[in-house]
Copies of this chain bind each other. A is one copy, B any other.
């Protein structure tokens, strides 16, 4: 059973809190995964009563369950930079404690703009609401992404944090890591000798990691225009996927050992400034819906050169992967939205059984992350009625098909893990540091952005650049 605790959600009136965090907590409640004494304190600037805040939330289907969930949820008004508001918060916690609710185990979930992180932790620490070594219970701080906007700023933020907290109190979110299939990557890799044996430069031709979205930056223009695809996607999600795909088997499944192996991979990643394609979408149509030109989106700067698409070829220059290119590509406003990792093995020599083009298709293992999480394997078999010529086909496995349920939402798992104190799915400082190092190097190349119409598969140059 989960431990009793208090979850303090900072930025509680924001989209993230209302659309993801609170619903995830509600689902955990509905499933009986929250301790009955656990309370949620929604913290934000606006003056709201509990009832007013409750009304802003999207209820879950079961009315009874929703009503019982709301009994856990209180609202607390707080201006992030106002000291007296923190004192009031401290008073409220003391009052809860006096009312018989243990408040010694505290989750501080910072779902605010990253700019507010230093102020909030500084104040929490100063007023002894959150600190390094509580006598009783524990204090944990969850930081939503992005963690910095380059190596230097991330380093600055981290220095602030480590001044106040131990690394093991720090939970840096990269929501992709909550996905079942990404965790599954380690199990898939290390418990299947048939794959594991070929998982190296001797047998792998190349690796592709694709993370394509149909959504445009609609509504998020201001944030996105300052970030771009390299910072918004490559620095966190994609390099995390790369690390999980390439890493050695850890000594144990402890968070520390897994983090160590991921960092070890990221340390060896080499950037080639000539192997980068960037793009920016223009007006177009996706599923018959018109999409505005990126530069005309609200919040986007005039003549912006921010990339909404990025394709890069990286090398993991270590013993296992030397010479194997890793192609990462990601973009917004694309024709199709999906995320997958494909390991393309070297194909068999065309000695017998090959087709008219005198080539055999390679074996390809694809791990589909979304939608329809699953695994598929491209292999060759004989075409029906043909004489010994090999044709590639796929065998597959889908989670949905077998479990008849959707995979659990990322945030439910992440919040459970924070309450459990399991940092495996969160990124360590080392990972953040080396991911920024790579991302800074990619950005430093200052590759001009190519235009691509919304609803296409990306810039033409990327098509030439990326393997099938």
Contacts and interface: CB of A to CB of B under 8 A. Distances in A.
Contact of A197 (B203, B352, B390, B395): B203
Contact of A377 (B381, B390, B395): B395
Given A198-B197, A375-B395, A395-B377, A191 B390 contact: yes
A382 interface: yes
A193 interface: yes
Contacts of A379: 188, 192, 194-195, 375, 397
A198 B363 CA distance: 14
Interface in A386-404: 387-390, 393-397, 399, 402-403
A132 interface: no
Contact of A394 (B183, B190, B365, B397): B397
B352 A253 contact: yes
Contact of A397 (B190, B192, B388, B393): B393
A345 interface: yes
Contact of A385 (B197, B375, B385, B408): B408
Contacts of A408: 384-385
Nearest to A388: B253
A381 B253 contact: no
A190 B352 contact: yes
Contacts of A380: 187-188, 191-192
Contact of A395 (B186, B376, B387): B376
Q: Which of A190, A193, A347, A395 has the largest count of B CB atoms less than 10 A from its CB?
A: A193
A252 B377 contact: no
A180 interface: yes
Nearest to A354: B191
A249 B194 contact: no
A66 interface: no
A413 B384 CA distance: 11
A399 B384 contact: yes
A96 interface: no
A360 interface: yes
Contacts of A354: 191
A194 B198 contact: yes
A351 B190 CA distance: 9
A195 to B, nearest CB: 7
A81 interface: no
Q: Which of A197, A250, A407 has the largest count of B CB atoms less than 10 A from its CB?
A: A197
A352 B192 contact: no
A399 B395 CA distance: 11
A361 to B, nearest CB: 8
B395 A397 contact: yes
5 contacts: A187-B382, A191-B348, A191-B360, A194-B198, A381-B397
